[in-house]
Amino acid sequence: MVTTPVTSITFEEYLTYDDGNDFHYELVDGKLELMNPPTIEHFLIAKFLEQLLDAEIKRCGSPWLTFRESGVRTGINKSRLTDLCVVTVEQARELLNASAVFESPPLLIVEVVSPESVKRDYRHKRSEYAALEVFEYWIVDPLQEKLSVLLLEDGFYEETVFTATQQIISRTFPELAIAVDQIFTASNLS
């Protein structure tokens, strides 16, 4: 993670920030933090989960949408990029012609852990998403082949860890039937 030379930037400036390249940044305490490009494994897991959640949303007829790499405002001068988030159609409608940075909490956020994002995903985003009152947060960790489902209870996350053939239990998607190893198998190219 590299911090850019910009010394300080507001959330409003972040929404329109363009340095002329295609880099992605998170805003952390008024500083831009460059996000490393994800690995192919990361992309494949995120794509699999996006397709899975989209299919479940369609099956249930829920008025929700799944977005990859959208932003979520987590503080006065903080904004995180999610690997996946599930929001209501109304939340998306509010941003139809604006930067895709949600200021109200998504129903579900999914982060796929990379070697450089371990601390960010398990610690920083966990506390920021809880403070924002994100109802459900998944940490998908291919490094340890586990998936943590964090459910908001009285302002704090209660964590359940799933591994191998265990089926994920989700409050947002209570009928979802997927085992952890199926998610990690999706990243195999063989």
**Confidence bin at 6 (pLDDT 50/70/90):** low
Number of compact structural domains in the chain: 1
Q: Please check whether residue 149 lies inside any domain of the structure.
A: yes
Give the domain CATH number at 124.
Answer: 3.90.1570.10
Q: Please check whether residue 32 lies inside any domain of the structure.
A: no
What range defines the domain where residue 152 resides? 38-185
pLDDT in tens, 86-97: 999 999 999 999
- Please give the Cα distance from 10 to 75 (Å, whole number): 11
8 A C-beta contact, residue 122 and residue 138: no
pLDDT in tens, 138-153: 999 999 999 999 999 9
80 token code pair: 């995180």
Q: Please check whether residue 111 lies inside any domain of the structure.
A: yes
Q: Please check whether residue 180 lies inside any domain of the structure.
A: yes
pLDDT in tens, 65-119: 999 999 999 999 999 999 999 999 999 999 999 999 999 999 999 999 999 999 9
8 A C-beta contact, residue 94 and residue 87: no
